[in-house]
């Protein structure tokens, strides 16, 4: 039987490991394991993606805030999935959220899917590419009109193509 102190110590160690990205609950990459038109092995994904993009798209990682050049992208064009090249977001829906990640108030119809993400002790809505299941980020209900949504997207999960 575990003591209260032992329970608190092991719980704190687990929380720290999760925060540092050293451990993830089984099945966290649920969307990436679903049924999508584009399905590749981990080795195939690794061969086509940078290590950072692989961690985000295939392992539901998160890039550090304010590190993506796409956060400051202002030109007209489309933002595509870095995994499969599907167009996901239009520059017409991009806005400055101040969060440090590219943010959009809407997506291109049919391009995005969502799933429940209850990792790290909070309930969020995860956003993934509907074509390959690649993790893009999360959607929150604190965005601007007309949708009131903020699609908070990892820049490393996107490629920008100017119009």
pTM of the model: 0.78
Residue 124's pLDDT band (cuts 50, 70, 90): confident
Let me know if 81 is a catalytic residue.
no
Backbone angles phi, psi at 17, to 5 degrees: -60, -40
> Rounded mean pLDDT of 155-161?
98
Nearest to 95 by CA among 132, 140, 54: 140
Decide if 107 contacts 151 (C-beta within 8 A). Answer: yes
Mean pLDDT in the chain? 84
Alpha-carbon torsion 160, 84, 142, 100, what sign?
Answer: negative
pLDDT top residue among 118 and 33? 118
DSSP annotation of 111: S
> Rounded mean pLDDT of 92-101?
97
> Rounded mean pLDDT of 41-51?
96
Q: Domains in the chain, ordered, with CATH?
A: 4-162 (2.170.150.20)
């Amino acid at each position: 039987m575990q003591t209260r102190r032992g329970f608190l110590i092991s719980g704190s160690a687990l929380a720290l490991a999760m925060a540092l990205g050293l451990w993830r609950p089984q099945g966290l990459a649920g969307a990436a394991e679903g049924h999508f038109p584009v399905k590749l092995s981990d080795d195939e994904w690794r061969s086509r993606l940078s290590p950072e993009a692989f961690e985000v798209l295939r392992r539901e990682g998160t890039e550090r805030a304010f590190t993506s050049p796409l956060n400051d992208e202002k030109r007209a064009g489309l933002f595509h999935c870095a995994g499969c090249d599907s167009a996901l977001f239009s520059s017409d829906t991009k806005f400055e959220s101040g969060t440090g990640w590219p943010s959009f108030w809407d997506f291109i119809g049919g391009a995005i899917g969502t799933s429940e993400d209850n990792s790290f002790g909070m309930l969020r809505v995860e956003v993934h590419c509907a074509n390959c299941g690649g993790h893009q980020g999360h959607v929150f209900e604190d965005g601007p009109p007309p949708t009131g949504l903020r699609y908070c997207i990892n820049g490393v999960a996107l490629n920008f193509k100017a119009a």
